[in-house]
Structure formats: C-alpha cells, structure tokens
C-alpha cells in the first residue's frame, strides 16, 4: 500500500497537464448533481456514478489536479493491499509480499494510478470482491456473500465491464470444485449483481455510439505481453493453502475478461486495456508466485547471479517506463497544451472552429484559453444543453457565420478526418473555398491551424506556421 501511494504521488501532476478523458471528468464534476444526471441521459451514463463522486470530492477539497487524481492513488493502494492479502491467503506470506510489491510496479497500474477516471476504483473494488470470494469459500456465511455481491455491484456501476470479473470468479469456483452450498451462494450473489446492473446496461447500450472511436483493440499487444508473462508464471508449482489454488484464481481473471471483450469485438470493437485493468490482479499474483518459486529453486551462485542481472534489467525497464508515464506525452493528447496553443495563436475577435465539434471538450476545462474568441458553430453551450460538447448550429448557419470573419482558429485531432455530418462538411468546405492556411502548430494529439480569408493581405508565414524558424509542439 505504501509503495503504491509513493509511486502514485511521484509526478502526479504530470507538469500540470490533463488529457481529454480527465478533462471530461473535471468538467462534469463541476456541474450540479441534477445536471450530471440529465447529461448522463444523453451521454456517458456508464460514468455517471464516478462523476457524482468526484463532484462531492471537489466540493469538499476543491477542484484541482490533486483532487482529480488522488482518489485513484488511494484506490489503487487499496487494490495493492488486497492483492497482498490474496497472495498471503492462497500461497503464504512471501508470495503475498512479492505479489503486493509487483502490483504497483506494473506499467498499466502505474498509469491509471494517476488517472482522473474510474478505472482505479473499479480495480480496487474487484480486488476486494475477489478477496471476499476467497474468504467466503472457506468461511461460508450469508453476510460474507452479501459483502461480495455489494462490492461487485458497486464496481459494475462504476464501469459495467467489471461484470466480466464475475465470470472469472464463477470459473474459478467451478474448477476448484467447491461445495454446492458455496456455489449456490455465489450464484445468488452473482444474480443480484446482474439484476442491479441490468438497467444501466440497457440504457447505456443506447449510447454505444460513444465507443465508435474504437476500431482495433487498443493497447492489446502490451496487455498480452504482460498476460503471457503472468500465465507463464502459473506453470510454477504453488503450495495450496485452501480449496482455491492461486493459479486457478489468477489465470481466469487475466484471460477471460480480455477474451470475452475480444470475442465481442468481432461484432463491435470494444477492447481497450483500461476496461479490464483489474486483470493485473492476476498478473501480480502469478508473478509473485513465480518469483517465490524461483527463489526456492536457487542452488548455486551462478543462478543467483543470473537472477540478479535479470532483476536489475527489469527494474531499469520499470524505472524508464515510470519516468515516461509521468510525462504529458504518455497520453494520447494534452488538452492543457491544446488550450494554451489556441490562446497563443488566436487574436481577440478571431473565430474559433472545432473539427469535429466533439473536440470542444479539449478547451472547456480552462475557459480563459478561448475567452476572446468566438465559437462559430456553437448554438447552445454544454452546460445548458446537458451535453459534453454543446449543440451546434445547422450547417448553412455555420457557413454564413464563418464568412463574417477574416481569421479563424481551427482545432482538429492529429491525423484524424472530420466526421461526414452536414455541420462538419460545411466547416471544411467553407475553409477550403474561402480561406487559406496561415500556420499550423502541432501539439500532442492535435493540430491548431490559423486560417485567413483569401483577400487578407497578411503574409503566408507567421507565428505558429510550419515555415523555417517557426516553433511547434510535439506531434
């Protein structure tokens, strides 16, 4: 727990930057609970509970990066303690200690320990539900299964894909051949979790367009590499200390959630590594057991030397990974840099255009960045419309408003094409026909371009342009 807190606090501010998803949390948590609920009816219902929790925390401790990310640090430290206790109960104190120390060092865990989203909380709840499961098998009591069911349900309400851990738990119990009363108690608890989750799942399915950005499994290679190492450790013999063996618990929680999401992705792409972050619980348990087995197998100084070299190499890789994860470039975009760039290249009275309109969330966290610019496509702001990015004008009105300006600052995702709806077509076609590019600045995840009317006498090179000597951010 202490190691997780220390690693979580190390570089937690990431040079005072946020990325897009965190910016959404930051913005929604500033709204009233009633506004959060109304917004969730249109978008992000799956995260509504997390936004409500963060709203209350912002009210108690103030809105800032520390308040945004510290709950994830504390949640992941709770997950680490549960991993240690699982290792202790299933395989002994040394495995528990090693598994608990490995867990916060895993790159995925380090990344989401400092993320202002719900995934660390989900991981912690699944970890403690798993511990309640193991205890419930040996100390059968209704209240223990009630605790298990409530913990799993809360995890699922924070993010519905936590329900995949429920499947892994069921497979573990079946393979372990637990007594029928235990299996029946788990079945009742699992049915309660599914029943409690069902309304959310049905309503959130209507918002499935939100995950349309997933076209291929996101970060699957990195996840599979960690999973392969973990499952390989399962080949090491582990002394059983109860009816549930450590590999029988750990392997399903690594493999099944990932496998089920990949199968579902054959119909609609859904796999993102953070959706199954809790699979790292199994990876840490198996890694701890494998390290313990290797320790017991050491019989010569040569083996000790090899182990020492391997340990130093792994530690160096983890340190380098940890350093990179604490930089703004470790995320897919940097909304702080995007907003600062808009403020730098824009002039008072310039038009502001988002290609596409959903990228309006990138600059909404700090209104000062766009205070002196006019949003050309906005008809109703995000708060009053109970949306994330506001409601835009009809396509003809957007085109007409654009022609009233001689300079327009356009914000678009790096390397992405705008959607083909009428509003976006009106924006791009009007820029192409009546404006020319004055200069583009590349920042992490986005491009900020200044356009000027063809009759504008300004030279083609200027601040933020790609001409020699112009400054630009990291693409």
Q: How confident is the model at residue 237 (pLDDT cuts 50, 70, 90)?
A: low
For residue 465, name the pLDDT band (cuts at 50, 70, 90): very low
**Does the pLDDT at position 467 exceed 80?**
no
Q: Residue 252: pLDDT above 70?
A: yes
Residues facing 351 on adjacent strands: 374, 408
Q: How many CA atoms lie within 13 A of 193 on its CB side?
A: 33
Q: Calculate mean pLDDT across residues 464-470.
A: 38
pLDDT score of 466 more than 60: no
Distance, in Å, from the CA atom of 373 to the CA atom of 86, rounded to the nearest integer, reads: 55
Counting residues of the chain whose pLDDT is more than 70, the rounded percentage is 85
pLDDT of the residue at 410: 96
Contact call for residues 129 and 32 (beta carbons, < 8 A): no
Residue 213 has pLDDT above 80, yes or no: no
Q: What is the DSSP code (8-state) at residue 394?
A: P
Question: How far apart are alpha carbons 281 and 123 in whole angstroms?
Answer: 8
298/51: higher pLDDT: 51
CA distance 199 to 36: 18
Instruction: Calculate what percentage of the chain has a pLDDT beyond 90.
Output: 69
pLDDT at 422 over 80: yes
Confidence of residue 241 (pLDDT cuts 50, 70, 90): low
Residues with Cβ < 8 Å from 140, sequence gap 6 or more? Answer: 179, 181, 182, 185
Enclosing H/E stretch for 452:
strand 446-453
Beta strands in 350-426, from DSSP E residues, in sequence order: 351-355, 374-375, 378-380, 391-392, 407-413
Specify the pLDDT at position 464: 41
How far is 121 from 76, CA to CA, in rounded Å? Answer: 7
pLDDT of residue 291: 84
Q: How many residues does the chain have?
A: 475
User: Quick check: 365 and 335 in contact, CB under 8 A?
Assistant: yes
User: In terms of pLDDT, which residue wins out, 270 or 246?
Assistant: 246
Using DSSP's 3-state secondary structure scheme, residue 375 falls into: strand
Q: What is the mean pLDDT of residues 220-236?
A: 61
Rounded to a whole number, what is the distance in angstroms from the first to the last CA of the chain?
36
282-301 pLDDT tens trace: 999 998 988 887 777 665 55
> In whole angstroms, what is the distance from residue 173 CA to residue 190 CA?
12
Assess whether pLDDT exceeds 60 at residue 475: no
pLDDT number for residue 471: 36
pLDDT score, position 26 = 96
Distances (CA, A) of 149 to 181, 257, 343, 468: 16, 18, 49, 62
* Strand 374-375 versus strand 435-443 pairing type: unpaired
Other Cβ atoms less than 10 A from the Cβ of 117: the count is 24
Instruction: Look at residue 405 and tell me whether its pLDDT is greater than 70.
Output: yes
Tell me what pLDDT residue 238 has: 62
Question: What rounded mean pLDDT belongs to the chain?
Answer: 87
Q: Which of 249, 262, 270, 225 is nearest to 107 (CA)?
A: 225
Across-strand partners of 410? 353, 449
For the ranges 7-21, 31-45, 113-127, 237-251, which has the lowest average pLDDT?
A: 237-251
20 with 358: CB under 8 angstroms? no
Phi, psi torsion values for 141, nearest 5 degrees:
-155, 145
Q: Could you say which DSSP state residue 467 is in?
A: S
pLDDT at 239: 60
7 has pLDDT over 80: yes
Mean pLDDT, residues 118-146 taken together: 95
CA separation for the pair 393, 412 (Å, rounded)? 18
pTM of the model: 0.88
Residue 231: pLDDT over 70: no
356 cis-preceded (ω within 30 degrees of 0): yes
The pLDDT of residue 136 is 93
CA distance 365 to 359: 12
- Exposed / middle / buried, residue 166 (Cβ in 10 Å: 0-12, 13-18, 19+): buried
Q: Which pLDDT does position 104 carry in this prediction?
A: 95
Residue 456 scores a pLDDT above 60 = no
Per residue in 84-100, pLDDT (tens digit) is 999 999 999 999 999 99
Residue 473 has pLDDT above 50, yes or no: no
Q: Which one is predicted more confidently, 215 or 88?
A: 88
User: pLDDT tens digits for 309-367?
Assistant: 766 777 788 888 889 999 999 999 999 999 999 999 999 999 999 998 999 999 999 99
Lowest mean pLDDT among 113-117, 245-249, 284-288, 457-461: 457-461
Cα-to-chain-centroid distance, residue 230? 22
Instruction: Name the residue with tokens 């309109």.
Output: 357
């Amino acid at each position: 727990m202490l190691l997780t807190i220390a690693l979580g606090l190390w570089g937690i501010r990431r040079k005072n930057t946020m990325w897009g998803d965190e910016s959404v949390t930051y913005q929604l948590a500033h709204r009233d609970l009633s506004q959060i609920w109304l917004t969730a009816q249109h978008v992000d219902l799956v995260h509504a509970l997390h936004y409500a929790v963060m709203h209350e925390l912002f009210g108690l401790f103030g809105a800032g990066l520390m308040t945004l990310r510290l709950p994830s640090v504390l949640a992941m430290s709770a997950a680490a303690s549960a991993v240690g206790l699982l290792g202790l109960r299933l395989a002994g104190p040394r495995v528990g200690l090693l598994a608990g120390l490995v867990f916060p060092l895993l790159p995925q865990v380090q990344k989401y320990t400092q993320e202002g989203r719900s995934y660390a909380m989900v991981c912690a709840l699944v970890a403690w539900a798993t511990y309640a499961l193991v205890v419930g098998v040996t100390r059968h009591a209704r209240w223990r299964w009630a605790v298990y069911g409530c913990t799993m349900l809360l995890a699922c309400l924070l993010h519905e894909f936590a329900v995949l851990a429920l499947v892994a738990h069921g497979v573990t119990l079946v393979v372990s051949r637990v007594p029928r009363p235990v299996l029946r108690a788990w079945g009742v608890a699992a049915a309660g979790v599914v029943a409690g989750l069902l309304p959310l799942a049905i309503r959130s399915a209507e918002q499935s367009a939100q995950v349309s950005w997933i076209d291929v499994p996101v970060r699957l290679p990195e996840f599979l590499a960690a999973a392969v190492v973990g499952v390989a450790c399962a080949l090491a013999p582990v002394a059983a200390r109860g009816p549930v063996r450590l590999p029988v618990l750990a392997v399903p929680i690594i493999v099944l959630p990932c496998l089920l999401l990949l199968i579902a992705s054959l119909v609609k792409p859904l796999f993102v590594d953070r959706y199954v972050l809790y699979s790292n619980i199994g990876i840490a348990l198996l890694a701890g057991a494998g390290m313990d087995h290797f320790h017991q197998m050491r019989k010569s100084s040569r083996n000790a030397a090899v182990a020492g070299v391997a340990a130093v190499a792994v530690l160096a890789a983890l340190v380098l990974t940890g350093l990179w994860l604490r930089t703004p470039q470790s995320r897919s975009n940097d909304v702080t840099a995007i907003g600062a760039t808009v403020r730098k290249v824009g002039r008072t009275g310039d038009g502001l255009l988002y290609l596409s309109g959903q990228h309006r969330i990138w600059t909404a966290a700090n209104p000062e960045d766009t205070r002196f610019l006019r949003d050309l496509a906005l008809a109703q702001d995000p708060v009053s419309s109970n949306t994330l990015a506001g409601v835009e004008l009809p396509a003809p009105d957007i085109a007409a408003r654009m022609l009233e300006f001689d300079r327009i600052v356009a914000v678009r995702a790096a390397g992405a094409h705008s959607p083909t709806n009428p509003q976006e077509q009106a924006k791009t076609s009007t820029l192409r026909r009546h404006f020319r590019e004055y200069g583009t600045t590349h920042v992490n995840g986005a491009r900020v371009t200044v356009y000027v009317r063809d009759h504008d006498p300004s030279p083609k090179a200027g601040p933020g342009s790609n001409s020699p000597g112009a400054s630009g951010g990291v693409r």
